[in-house]
Structure 1
Amino acid sequence: MRHILLTGGTGFVGSAVVARLVVDGYAVTAAVRDQHAGLPANVQRAVVAGLDADTQWSSALVGCDVVIHSAARVHVMNDTSTDPLAEFRKVNVEGTLNLARQAAAAGVKRFIFISSIKVNGEGTTLGKPYTAFDTPAPQDPYGVSKLEAEQGLRQIADDTGMEVVIIRPVLVYGPGVKANFRSMMNWVNKGVPLPLGAIHNRRSLVSLDNLVDLITTCIDHPAAANQSFLVSDGEDLSTSQMLRRMAAALGRPARLLPVPQRWLCAAAGLLGKAAVAQRLCGSLQVDIRHTCETLDWQPPVSVDEGFRRTAHAFLNE
């Protein structure tokens, strides 16, 4: 039986990974800050003070075959740190590489790193998706820190022989989702008219179930070693389509006003909300053919099923 150490095990993605690993019969140790963190009864706890260059992982790594590293200092809007990149580096670069070095020294065979599509950049030209082989072009401190962690992990793999797998998700949604996706669900559920009925962009999304399925596929798949994978649901949606499909999942009408996109962008610019307009009106597509062909993998959950599961959890909270 493979023994897996998972970081970030109480987070949005990590908690779903824990649940899947338990069902699949793995021995799981979850790194947590709080001894009383909510975890399944048969999951071991490894209490660590934080995630930085000084964290000691020796006891958590005993007998460990695979590390799944999903913990991170996450991207936040309107970061108030005086030096955001330095803060991201402490956790996402120094903390990650410290764990990886100790994992390699402890005999861990494979290190799965949950990175971010922000390593590729912030947006694509319509119909020209990112691929796993594009030259990285991160545009914010979070994306830069994830790229630097990837580069450091590849060097550790070269130096030690420990296999490294890098996964770059796009926007993840699913039961319990927070932030912008949840806000949009709330607006749609309340029947708020939204001026987003004429947006013709394309954005890739990934359901939590599809991301977890890919992560668990990478635990044992021999072809995953030392590869980077992009992941999505395999169907790209415009913002208008996404809201209509979301409304259908919620059992609500989609009240979308067909305001021209250029008007929205102009208004957002005047209000200092250009970044919000970019996320709503811009495109960000990924090509997952390398992932699917290398791993003989397909996203098991469709967009509509992913939305249905997300809406069901939202309505029952």
Structure 2
Amino acid sequence: MNYLITGASGFIGRHLCLRLNSMSLDFTSISHTSFRSQEVTNIPNAEVVIHLAGKAHILNERGADLDSDYYEANCAYALEVARSAARNGLKRFVYVSSIGVYGKSHSKNPLTESAEVKPIESYAKSKLKAEIKLKKLSKELCFELVIVRPALVYGFDAPGNIKRLQKFVHSFPIIPFAERGNVRSFVYIENLIDFLILSATHKNAANQVFNVADDEPVSTYALISALSSGMRHRRLLFSLPRGMLKMILRVAGRNKMYEQLFGDLVLDISFAKSQLNWKPRYRTKEALSTAGKGYISNLRKDNK
């Protein structure tokens, strides 16, 4: 089995390529700085494509053509990669989507893959459009499709809001937003990599949609406690009232940060576990502690 990994220079792509290399698996990786569908040419022969390339969500991004930009990068580009790969022996296409397709959740009730999809932002809308169009294309061109909807991914070198949170925990001795009452699913990068590799070959993954997360949803308090423990930092943790915290983040232009880190959103991963006999290898609190420890080690390397 040979693999093609797109978006190999991104956070998930780097970790996936490192794992495939350590397993001595046959793979080719490609990275692009632009995601124009008309520029997709000469896709290498591969039986399995794990498609990670695309335009990531950017906080508070503004622009007249946001919907168009995200559609081109996350939908049109993915479709063209799949078409090109199908001409070169493609058997299975693994598309990494987003839990953003479910929209905002304010409930602790776990979301299954059959939950209503109601994306709000341009990024999530483009991901859902790609899911729909890839399903149609896979039937037309006779390849298997796997759609993966991961929770917010964390690790020592994670980008975005996880990176901002780790920086804050490292820099400040008092953390005023350690909410205990919320609960949210996250996924450790190594657990996600395990699942991506499994879903690329498992016969029961064909033409399925999977939520992927760690086994244990956590509160923001537990999230910060585990990170600070890994960093070997003692932090005074308390939480401002939710309304006040939301207002402060809104004024700071961090609305999305509130939703991703402090809101309630729990994924039901029972289908992934039963269908593929998969179980997250790393427990959340231990993995968060490992991420915190790795964040400090990485800082020290950068400062040398």
User: What is the alpha-carbon distance in structure 1 between the residues aligned to residue 254 and residue 197 of structure 2?
Assistant: 38
Equivalenced residues, count: 298
Which digits, 9 at most, give the CA deviation of each residue in 1:214-236, with x for residues without a partner?
Answer: 00001210000000111111111
1:74 maps onto 2:73 in alignment: no
Counterparts in 2 of 1:71 and 1:274: CA distance versus 1, 3 Å: closer
**Residue aligning to 1:107:** 89
SS at match of 1:316: helix
8 Å contact kept, 2:173–2:234: no
8 Å contact kept, 1:199–1:260: no
Matched AA of 2:173 = V
SS at match of 1:200: coil
Structure with greater helix share of residues: 2
Give the TM-score normalised by the residue count of structure 1: 0.88
Q: 1:216 aligns with which of 197, 208, 213?
A: 197
8 Å contact kept, 1:114–1:167: yes
**Residue aligning to 1:156:** 137
Matched AA of 1:182 = K
**Residue aligning to 2:152:** 171
Q: 2:44 aligns with which of 56, 61, 66?
A: 61
**Residue aligning to 1:144:** 125
Displacement, 1:65?
0.8
Aligned CA-pair RMSD: 1.9
User: What is the alpha-carbon distance in structure 1 between the residues aligned to residue 30 and residue 262 of structure 2?
Assistant: 38
Give the TM-score normalised by the residue count of structure 2: 0.92
Matched AA of 1:55 = E
**Residue aligning to 1:308:** 289
Displacement, 1:309?
2.6
Which digits, 9 at most, give the CA deviation of each residue in 1:115-169, with x for residues without a partner?
Answer: 111111132412x122111121111000000000001110011112200001011
User: What is the alpha-carbon distance in structure 1 between the residues aligned to residue 116 and residue 79 of structure 2?
Assistant: 22
8 Å contact kept, 2:93–2:145: yes
Displacement, 1:198?
4.1
Aligned counterparts, 1:235-314, within 5 A: 235-268=216-249, 274-314=255-295
Matched AA of 1:53 = S
Aligned counterparts, 1:11-160, within 5 A: 11-33=10-32, 50-58=34-42, 60-62=43-45, 64-126=46-108, 128-160=109-141
Counterparts in 2 of 1:277 and 1:20: CA distance versus 1, 3 Å: closer
8 Å contact kept, 1:191–1:252: no
SS at match of 1:214: helix
Tell me the percent identity: 29
SS at match of 2:210: strand
**Residue aligning to 1:5:** 4
Q: Which consecutive residues of structure 2, in runs of 5 or more, have no partner in the other structure?
A: 299-304
SS at match of 2:146: strand
